[in-house]
Amino acid sequence: ALVHDEYGHFEGIVTPADILEAITGVFRADLDAGDEENAVKREDGSWLLAGYMQADEMADVLGIDLPENRDYETVAGYVLSHMHHLPATGECVDAQGWRFEVVDLDGRRIDKLIATRLPGGHREIVR
């Protein structure tokens, strides 16, 4: 299908694979050999998360609920919304039964985090 904007200008082509990806997420075949995964489960049960990972994807992985109206789209944004400041490496914040530790910064960007389930961690619904 050809895609046009509201002014009639050609924007691109939508393929059946594009539609399936929009519904189901990124296909494994789309990941290049050099691409990192957004979430990697570690031996201790914690998760190594990429800061650029979509917040909805993180919520699915960790089994937490996110508010529909929010000011962030990524895991880094989620953590910043709880910390209220730019963290330093090693800083932690607890949210919804998980501890999020900033393990790598790239300048002022949160690059990697570790999410660890808190003992007795329970699911809270954020509204």
Q: How confident is the model at residue 17 (pLDDT cuts 50, 70, 90)?
A: confident
**31 vs 117: which has the higher pLDDT:** 117
Residue 101 clears pLDDT 90, i.e. is over it: yes
* CA separation for the pair 21, 61 (Å, rounded): 18
Q: What is residue 127's predicted lDDT score, i.e. its pLDDT?
A: 33
Q: Give all domains of the chain, ordered by start, each with its CATH number.
A: 37-117 (3.30.465.10)
Residue 125 clears pLDDT 80, i.e. is over it: no
Which residue from 56, 61, 59, 48 is spatially nearest to 112, judged by alpha carbons?
Answer: 48
* Average pLDDT score, the chain: 85
Q: Who contacts 16 (Cβ-Cβ below 8 Å, separation ≥6)?
A: none
Q: How confident is the model at residue 93 (pLDDT cuts 50, 70, 90)?
A: very high
For 83-102, what is the mean pLDDT? 94
Residue 22 clears pLDDT 50, i.e. is over it: yes
* CA separation for the pair 57, 53 (Å, rounded): 7
Q: What is residue 117's predicted lDDT score, i.e. its pLDDT?
A: 94
Q: Using DSSP, how many helices (H) and how many strands (E) does the chain show?
A: 3, 7
Q: What is residue 63's predicted lDDT score, i.e. its pLDDT?
A: 92
* CA separation for the pair 93, 15 (Å, rounded): 41
Instruction: Kindly state the tokens that stand for 32.
Output: 């290049």
